[in-house]
A and B are shown apart, each in its own frame.
Chain A
Amino acid sequence: MTTRIVIVGNGMAGARLAGELHAREGDRKVTVLGAEPHRAYNRIMLSTLLAGRIGEPDVELTEAAGHGIDRRTGVPVTTVDRSAREVGTADGERIGYDHLVLATGARAVVPPLPGLDPADLPPRVVPFRTLDDCRRIIAAADGARSALVLGGGLLGLEAARGLATRGLTTTVVHHTGHLMERQLDPAAGAVLAGTLAALGVTSQLAVPATGVVADDTGVRLDLADGRSLRADLLVLSCGVRPDTALARAAGLTVRRGVVVDDRLRTDDRSISAIGDCAEHDGTLTGLVAPAWAQARVLADVLTGTDPLARYRPRPVVTRLKAAGIDLAAMGEAVGGEPGEELTFTDPARGTYARLRIRDERLVGAILLGDNPAVGTVIQLFDRGHPVPADRRALLLGRALGTTAAAPAASPALMPDAATVCQCNTVSKGALVRSWRSGARTVDAVVAATRAGTGCGGCRDAVTGIVDWLSEAESVEVTR
């Protein structure tokens, strides 16, 4: 009998799972039910969309399609009947399943402030989470000149950068003393604030907001220190909360998220959960990479491709990359057991690097600004590989120690055995011997030794040696 798999959610996790299932052999019917009316899209690109650099079609993702895949968008699921193994949709349809996957994601948190009713936000106050949110922000930003962003975490800063790119004077309001405090130490936060300021984003730090007053024309954000900030719109980026309503209603174990085991199973063997709504080993993921890893494992398990597949979380790397900002943060920013600490700060250029090493392994890193070794650092951390003997290579860039040996300043200092022409394996000694045998011009030396006849790259070096030999001879003659 054909297995019926129903996936609730067509976001980054649900759409990915459909693709993973489709790519594996076997006969099954996969139904994907997306609450949003859109095709699957890449949430990571929404800040680029917000910045006005791309259009909506550019954020679309590949959707598995064809035999065995039934995808319905704009169809919220409202009930799960575990005994009948059916889900019910908002318009009353009931869909049977053999296995149900909850990929319901997370919802933006609306902070409990006077003036903010989560069910009825003012038109110029918008959270930043979905494509529809993005549309609303873009609509509100149209003709606007200033924006406030409440929340200086990763998403808030991406939104702020996007709004600044649109030409809005943008201010980030953050309750703690430095930006992205979950990933950064205060020094890095300060450098980041400086980088953002240069890009037109001001930061107001260590000031909780106390209330919002908004109408059709603008927003006022009241702060705990008594000040009020005004702008044409307010973007809320105060974190997300797993969307567990369905799971709770169905009686599944839910702590912060829907609790799953290494096989991504809930306490009902016929129901799994992946992505932002799932809680594995006490941890919520909140990022794409773990959600996709979960999709892969679950597809292996459900299809029998690898029944022993287990989800093993990998260390998380936070990456903020927007025009003018290059930030990577991973592992322990502060605290933890003692170990090696390497830091490099160049505030004038907005560069900050901090590496934390224990037992020859990276346990944490913050790289902000121009850090050429960022790719290497991320891979070393991700894979747990040993760090280089010369740590400077990680702080100052991969070029260290790998550049070509500089040509000797003077041919006189070059050892005879040094190869001048790689293509024809011609040493300095061979060039000198050809000279002594009577070759007196560059062309004659080249003809005698074949130096410079391959790629031609050593022609200058050969000329230099011939000049040096000529000079040495003329000195002798003069003397």
Chain B
Amino acid sequence: MTDGARSATRPGRVPREVATHCPYCALQCGMILRADDDRVTVLPRQFPTNRGGLCQKGWTAAELLDHPDRLTTPLLRDAATGELRPASWDAALDRIVAGIRAVQDSAGPDAVAVFGGGGLTNEKAYALGKFARIGLRTRHIDYNGRFCMSSAAAAGMRAFGIDRGLPFPLSDLGRADTLLLVGANPAETMPPLVRWLTEQRQAGGRLIVVDPRVTATARQADLHLQPLPGTDLAVANALLHIALTEGWVDQAYVAGRTTGFEAVRRSVAAWWPARAEQLSGVPVADLEATARALGTGGRVIILTARGAEQHAKGVDTVTAYVNLALALGLPGRDGSGYGCLTGQGNGQGGREHGQKADQLPGYRRIDDPAAREHVAGVWGVPADELPGPGVPAYQLLDSLGTLHGPRALLVFGSNPVVSAPRAARIERRLRDLDLLVVADLLLSETAALADVVLPTAQWAEEDGTMTNLEGRVLRRRALRPPPPGVRTDLAIISDLAARLATDDSAAADAAARFPADPSTVFAELRRASAGGAADYAGISWDRIDTADGVHWPCPSEDGPDTPRLFADRFATPDGRARFHPVDHRPAAEEVCATYPLHFTTGRVLAQYQSGTQTRRVAALRRAAPEAFVELHPDLAARLGIDDGDPVLVTSRRGELRAPARLSAGIRPDTVFAPFHWAGAARANSVTNDAVDPISGMPEFKVCAVRVEKA
């Protein structure tokens, strides 16, 4: 089964089928959607990433298409009762436009903010950024990818001059002699990827996992390093220290392809392994074995994910692993390299086309005059009309409704009430807004706070492109139109733009400027991205169809795409990768007598992100029905907690209640909770809102808590 039409399977009836991809994570598994009478079923599809595999989330993805909870009409908050009531599209859009005008008239264009998501298609992410900048004329747009990819993105940009999660195809994992996963748990977060890990080990490769927990992935590893949360950077510096003392640094590569090594060499001289051992708890012998496997293996790949990245020093932590990879001469070497495992479905494309506060399409900087000229030209406006950079997601959310912050917010494809750090505070900020608009397919916890809720199409009801974790641009294909009363995000943007116009001719112009048709938007996106770092100019939907996806950069329709980056040069002005010395620093919040335990968060296999979708799928709910607090049996015994007991986790910011789950696979000084649940079980009530100074990434992965029996 490959992309394209398929023949009927039963005589007399022709079930409609499309070849598309899973709606959830960045692996974007290939799948077939089949409409049979009123039923939509999912079939796995051979695609170079998932090779016919699907996890339970993918198999059950169609269940939400006709789910009773699905929104099929706009909702307006009734001023009298305070309740959300069904309303017409006209009434909903009028209310939004009136609200936008009111706050912008009194407080200027920046009084409106837009919050997007890493699950939106490239077309939607692009249109949203354009709508914010020239439809609303606000500088305030950012998205939940800030909570996901921003640290790896910033580290990649400063080292390589480009940010593409994997600069090589996923299949390279299967050929690696040594594979180091840092803070990644694909066995739960993207199970079909594990097929590559199995292949790797069957071919004799070594898998090394760095994680504070014995995860499903760590259990498969040849070696598992179990550091204290927040010490991954020191581990990386110690690995490089060992590589230096053992003579495993690729001196010719360092001399020929990089700059800045000397400063890194001196900084890691201070990270002798015993020092990192005392800080992280990872035995020196294990550090040495890891360094040896990395330094003497043939094809060696180092991958980071959220465990390393979601820290107030996330950029520096990723940089430490990039430094290690560069010192060993990995990036650009066939079969080797550094990469990051992107999280959200379009976490990659979503960060390339203007949804980010400081960015214009094609991964251009919004403060770069040439970039502004180019994009303004495509958009048909003078460059000086484009606003400047806004602020990163958490800062934006935390400013909402405050004296100088935005007073209206439009949310597309995100649920910050569950997914933002220090979520109770963000919930209050959202309540303080004059106008909160949420476009979603379900009544998420954020939508439940909104003044206006707009029902949107689901993945099986829209066309467009997604860019997966390999930088491979894929086609999402519509199986059926949205149900009556439901519109696509692009149609909503188009409608809003037209209604915001002051007269009929301006409205016609606006509608033309913000087309609802995704192929038209993609054609414009290609022009806007042309010449940028993430150049899509040569990518057409047809080309994607014939080629199992197209890897950017792809500047020309006739020219090749780029499955592998960095073979000859890096995307820096001088073509060399850049080392940056980085040093460990403590977590933003250290444990103390009152809050003596480390708290860390993550995901489980059968749920996805804020759980808006997966918590409503019956099979997934059965598999992972509720939140839990994972703690070591020794810790539980000291606290008088038995397996299943209700537990209260308290930080300086809030609390979380969930049943205890005892596991010897977690450090006794650390507790874990998944972040998919809302209400009392919301893990992000507890997390720390300290952010990385470069990326704006919040410190989801470590803070200080107290645990007691509830």
Distance between Cα atoms of A326 and B669 in the complex (Å): 25
A42→B247 contact, CB < 8 A: no
B53→A456 contact, CB < 8 A: yes
Q: Mark B253-292, 1 if CB is under 8 A from A, else 0.
A: 0000000001101110110111101101111111000000
A61→B246 contact, CB < 8 A: no
Chain A residues whose C-beta falls within 8 Å of the C-beta of B282 in the assembled complex: 375
Tell me the chain A residues, 373-393 only, with Cβ under 8 Å from chain B.
Answer: 373-376, 378-379, 382-383, 385-386, 388-389
Distance between Cα atoms of A373 and B282 in the complex (Å): 9
Q: Mark A434-458, 1 if CB is under 8 A from B, else 0.
A: 0000000000000000100111110
Q: Which one, B220, B281, B664, contacts A376 given CB within 8 A?
A: B281
Tell me the chain A residues, 32-75 only, with Cβ under 8 Å from chain B.
Answer: 41-42, 44-45, 48, 53-54, 57-63
Q: Which one, A45, A374, A402, A423, contacts B272 given CB within 8 A?
A: A45
B195→A456 contact, CB < 8 A: yes
Distance between Cα atoms of A263 and B10 in the complex (Å): 85
A367, closest chain B residue (CB): B283
A453→B53 contact, CB < 8 A: yes
Is A230 located at the chain interface by the 8 A CB criterion?
A: no
B195, closest chain A residue (CB): A456
Is A1 located at the chain interface by the 8 A CB criterion?
A: no
B192, closest chain A residue (CB): A454
Q: Which one, A57, A376, A402, A453, contacts B665 given CB within 8 A?
A: A402
Chain A residues whose C-beta falls within 8 Å of the C-beta of B247 in the assembled complex: 53-54
Q: Which one, B52, B266, B619, B634, contacts A388 given CB within 8 A?
A: B634
A54→B56 contact, CB < 8 A: no
Tell me the chain B residues, 274-329 only, with Cβ under 8 Å from chain A.
Answer: 274-275, 277-278, 280-286
Is A223 located at the chain interface by the 8 A CB criterion?
A: no
Tell me the minimal C-beta distance from B490 to chain A in angstroms. Answer: 32
A326→B56 contact, CB < 8 A: no
Prevailing SS type, chain A contact patch: loop
Is A467 located at the chain interface by the 8 A CB criterion?
A: no
Tell me the minimal C-beta distance from B393 to chain A in angstroms. Answer: 28
Tell me the chain A residues, 303-338 only, with Cβ under 8 Å from chain B.
Answer: 317, 319, 321, 326
A457→B285 contact, CB < 8 A: no
Distance between Cα atoms of A196 and B86 in the complex (Å): 81
A375→B664 contact, CB < 8 A: no
B249, closest chain A residue (CB): A58
Chain A residues close to B by CB (< 8 Å): 41-42, 44-45, 48, 53-54, 57-63, 288-289, 317, 319, 321, 326, 370-376, 378-379, 382-383, 385-386, 388-389, 398, 401-404, 422-425, 450, 453-457
Also in contact, A319 and B285, with CB within 8 A (given A424-B55, A424-B59, A457-B194): no
Chain A residues whose C-beta falls within 8 Å of the C-beta of B220 in the assembled complex: 457
Q: Which one, B192, B246, B280, B283, contacts A374 given CB within 8 A?
A: B283
B280→A53 contact, CB < 8 A: no
Chain B residues whose C-beta falls within 8 Å of the C-beta of A454 in the assembled complex: 53-56, 191-192, 194
Chain A residues whose C-beta falls within 8 Å of the C-beta of B269 in the assembled complex: 41-42, 45, 58-62
A424, closest chain B residue (CB): B56
Among B54, B262, B277, B283, max chain A CB count under 10 A is at: B283
Is B171 located at the chain interface by the 8 A CB criterion?
A: no
Is B637 located at the chain interface by the 8 A CB criterion?
A: yes
Q: Which one, B187, B278, B286, contacts A317 given CB within 8 A?
A: B278
A62→B263 contact, CB < 8 A: yes
Tell me the minimal C-beta distance from B196 to chain A in angstroms. Answer: 10
B198→A425 contact, CB < 8 A: no
Chain B residues whose C-beta falls within 8 Å of the C-beta of A374 in the assembled complex: 277, 283-285
A62→B245 contact, CB < 8 A: no
Distance between Cα atoms of A45 and B278 in the complex (Å): 17
Chain A residues whose C-beta falls within 8 Å of the C-beta of B187 in the assembled complex: 422, 455, 457
A386→B56 contact, CB < 8 A: no
Tell me the chain B residues, 197-226 only, with Cβ under 8 Å from chain A.
Answer: 198, 214, 216, 219-220, 226
Instruction: Give 9 A-B contacts (CB < 8 Å), ordered by A residue.
Output: A41-B269, A53-B246, A54-B245, A321-B273, A388-B634, A389-B637, A402-B665, A403-B219, A453-B55
Number of A-B contacts (CB under 8 A): 142
Also in contact, A425 and B606, with CB within 8 A (given A61-B266, A385-B669): yes
Chain A residues whose C-beta falls within 8 Å of the C-beta of B283 in the assembled complex: 371-375
A456→B245 contact, CB < 8 A: no
Chain B residues whose C-beta falls within 8 Å of the C-beta of A424 in the assembled complex: 55-56, 59
A62→B285 contact, CB < 8 A: no
Chain B residues whose C-beta falls within 8 Å of the C-beta of A42 in the assembled complex: 269-270, 272
Distance between Cα atoms of A70 and B672 in the complex (Å): 47
Tell me the minimal C-beta distance from A122 to chain B in angstroms. Answer: 31
Distance between Cα atoms of A425 and B623 in the complex (Å): 6
Also in contact, A61 and B192, with CB within 8 A (given A375-B286, A453-B54): no
Chain A residues whose C-beta falls within 8 Å of the C-beta of B265 in the assembled complex: 57-58, 60
Distance between Cα atoms of A374 and B287 in the complex (Å): 12
Tell me the minimal C-beta distance from B52 to chain A in angstroms. Answer: 8
B635, closest chain A residue (CB): A386
Distance between Cα atoms of A42 and B272 in the complex (Å): 9
Tell me the minimal C-beta distance from B709 to chain A in angstroms. Answer: 18
Also in contact, A379 and B214, with CB within 8 A (given A58-B269, A454-B55): no
Q: A423-B192, A456-B192 are in contact. List 17 more A-B contacts (CB 8 A).
A: A42-B270, A42-B272, A44-B272, A48-B245, A58-B269, A60-B269, A289-B278, A372-B283, A382-B278, A386-B638, A388-B668, A398-B226, A402-B214, A424-B59, A453-B44, A454-B191, A454-B194
A61→B194 contact, CB < 8 A: no
Chain A residues whose C-beta falls within 8 Å of the C-beta of B588 in the assembled complex: none
Tell me the minimal C-beta distance from A44 to chain B in angstroms. Answer: 5
Also in contact, A379 and B245, with CB within 8 A (given A423-B55, A423-B191): no
Is B404 located at the chain interface by the 8 A CB criterion?
A: no
Q: Mark B106-128, 1 if CB is under 8 A from A, else 0.
A: 00000000000000000000000
Is B97 located at the chain interface by the 8 A CB criterion?
A: no
Chain B residues whose C-beta falls within 8 Å of the C-beta of A44 in the assembled complex: 272
Tell me the minimal C-beta distance from A203 to chain B in angstroms. Answer: 23
B666, closest chain A residue (CB): A402
A389→B634 contact, CB < 8 A: yes
Also in contact, A389 and B245, with CB within 8 A (given A42-B270, A453-B59): no
Chain B residues whose C-beta falls within 8 Å of the C-beta of A388 in the assembled complex: 634, 668
Distance between Cα atoms of A388 and B636 in the complex (Å): 11
Also in contact, A62 and B270, with CB within 8 A (given A401-B664, A402-B665, A423-B55): yes
A422→B286 contact, CB < 8 A: no
B272→A378 contact, CB < 8 A: no
Q: Mark B428-448, 1 if CB is under 8 A from A, else 0.
A: 000000000000000000000
Distance between Cα atoms of A405 and B647 in the complex (Å): 26
B197, closest chain A residue (CB): A455
Chain B residues whose C-beta falls within 8 Å of the C-beta of A376 in the assembled complex: 281
Tell me the minimal C-beta distance from A443 to chain B in angstroms. Answer: 12
Tell me the chain B residues, 43-67 only, with Cβ under 8 Å from chain A.
Answer: 44, 52-56, 59
A53→B56 contact, CB < 8 A: no
Tell me the minimal C-beta distance from A21 to chain B in angstroms. Answer: 15
B266→A62 contact, CB < 8 A: yes
Distance between Cα atoms of A424 and B59 in the complex (Å): 8
